[in-house]
Amino acid sequence: MIAAYMQRAQERVDTQLASLFDAPRSELARIYQAMHYSVAGGGKRVRPLLVYAACEALDGNLDRADGAACAVELIHAYSLVHDDLPAMDDDDLRRGKPTTHKAYDEACAILAGDGLQSLAFEVLADPRRNPQDANLRLSMVMGLARAAGPAGMVGGQAIDLESVGRQLDQQALETMHRHKTGALIEASVQLGALASGNADEAALRSLQQYAQAIGLAFQVQDDILDVESDTATLGKTQGKDQAHAKPTYPALLGLEQAKAYALELRDLALHSLRPFGERAEPLRELARYIVERRN
């Protein structure tokens, strides 16, 4: 079930994303091409999938979730472009192809990431792409900005860079990853719920608990794969965390305990979905997928 659902959702958001990268003038063609390169050509689209699945869980119309799905993927893509830069993680491979700064150049990659970030908020604020009322669009913009900024993903990346070579305890490691990885995953679920038009406070609380659990589980599984998988399967350089002396869950807990923790987080996520009916089944399947994936 989940494979077919993921394919449909991926195709849907890819169609929406492709419409964003026609350069308005010829002199802008290269930067638009670099932005499109950074978004296209692979990726699991987990964050847009969560947007669509949360919208469906609350009986929403997916036409009203396309803008949010695009916005979270644009933010995610920008973060990867900047994360791969020489000043950050210095990686040459992403999704099985050269990273943006290798395919173009470093300056172009920085600008492409900047452009993707700005475009995310333009899409979310545009009533043609995000057909909510003005107050709801503003709430969605604020939620994504908070998740992407220093209180979320950017803050987590800063903690990550400052933690290289240091020994973190589990609480500190989780604080870093709730910002770096979890914040955007939480925002994806929140935006999907808001896009449905049917999100009350109780539903948002339950979905936040779900998103917090899978956001952390996603990072735990990423750390496990960095140990167990290979570069060809991952589509990015395997073993980078260990080579850079980054704190990880397998390093802190041991590999088997890290796997057990990922399963514990999955079960917590599933428990959080008890108030929802069959329409939340894609969210349940995504929680399982996150801890069972091999790339």
- Give per-residue pLDDT as tens, 260-275: 999 999 999 999 999 9
Where are the domains positioned within the chain? 2-292
Residue 234 pLDDT = 52
Cα–Cα distance measured from residue 49 to residue 288, given in angstroms and rounded to the nearest whole number:
14
Q: At what angle do helices 66-83 and 2-18 cross, to 10 degrees?
A: 80
Residue 240 pLDDT = 59
Phi, psi (degrees; rounded to nearest 5) at 138: -65, -40
pLDDT band at 61 (very low <50, low <70, confident <90, very high): very high
Phi, psi (degrees; rounded to nearest 5) at 196: -65, -25
Residue 46 pLDDT = 95
Convert the pLDDT of each residue in 29-45 to its tens digit: 999 999 999 999 778 89
Tokens of 92: 């040459």
Q: Which fold has domain 2-292?
A: Farnesyl Diphosphate Synthase (1.10.600)
Question: What separation in angstroms does the CA of 241 have from each of 45, 101, 161?
Answer: 23, 20, 11
Residue 235 has pLDDT above 80, yes or no: no
Residue 54 has pLDDT above 70, yes or no: yes
